[in-house]
Amino acid sequence: MPHTDTYRRLIALLDDTATPYRLIDHTPEGTTETVSALRGHPVSQAAKCLVLRVKPDRRTTRHVLAVVPGDRRVDLDAIRELFAARYAGVSDAATAERLARAVPGTVLPFSFDPDLELVADPDVVTRPQLYFNAARLDRSLAVSGADYEKLARPRLAKIAGPQPQT
């Protein structure tokens, strides 16, 4: 599925479910901190999405889409513990792009692939507004954390590293 189809699939999902959302056009950018500034919101309201490779044993590999607040890092120890795994790390770019159906920097906090398990930190769904690139570098989307949880139905688990010191 071309990446433009991922964008269209997301918009169709939102429209078909009558979910309120807002599209935000901006200069092409995929870095959470920079695009948050372009969109005009705190980094903590962004969804940072990473495709991970998790190995419960030597022969088994699972892929996980981890979603955390934009000002936090994915806690790989928490991922390993959650999946009772020997290893957890960031997937290679080609695998991530294939499973997420989006280029790095535009990965949605939704999984449209049955081989990509979606796990979100509970802090993500508590956001009044959650912002993320919409499978495009030049367009983002804002939706409430509650609506995101209702639509994406992620597995909720504490997978974000500690909150940054202010």
Residues 97-106 have pLDDT tens digits of 999 999 989 9
The reply to whether 162 falls in a domain is: no
Would the pLDDT of 3 be above 80?
Answer: no
Tell me which DSSP letter residue 120 carries.
Answer: E
Q: Which residues fall within 8 angstroms of residue 3, CB to CB, at 6 or more apart?
A: 101, 102, 103, 106, 135, 136
- pLDDT in the model for residue 1: 40
Residues 42-57 have pLDDT tens digits of 999 999 999 999 999 9
Would the pLDDT of 165 be above 70?
Answer: no
* CATH label of the domain that carries residue 81: 3.90.960.10
The reply to whether 58 falls in a domain is: yes
The reply to whether 115 falls in a domain is: yes
Would the pLDDT of 8 be above 90?
Answer: yes
- pLDDT in the model for residue 4: 72
The reply to whether 26 falls in a domain is: yes
First to last CA, the chain: 42
Residues 26-85 have pLDDT tens digits of 999 999 999 999 999 999 999 999 999 999 999 999 999 999 999 999 999 999 999 999
pTM, full prediction: 0.94
Domain with 39, as residue range(s), is 3-156
Cβ neighbourhood burial of 164 (10 Å; 0-12, 13-18, 19+): exposed
Would the pLDDT of 125 be above 90?
Answer: yes
- pLDDT in the model for residue 166: 59
The reply to whether 165 falls in a domain is: no
Nearest-angstrom CA–CA distance, 25 and 136: 10
Total count of domains within the chain: 1
Nearest-angstrom CA–CA distance, 11 and 32: 21
- pLDDT in the model for residue 164: 75
pLDDT above 90 covers what percent of the chain? 92
The reply to whether 60 falls in a domain is: yes
Query: With left for phi above 0 and alpha for psi between -120 and 50, is residue 26 left, alpha or beta?
Result: beta
Would the pLDDT of 159 be above 60?
Answer: yes
Cβ neighbourhood burial of 102 (10 Å; 0-12, 13-18, 19+): buried
**Furthest CA-CA distance within the chain:** 45
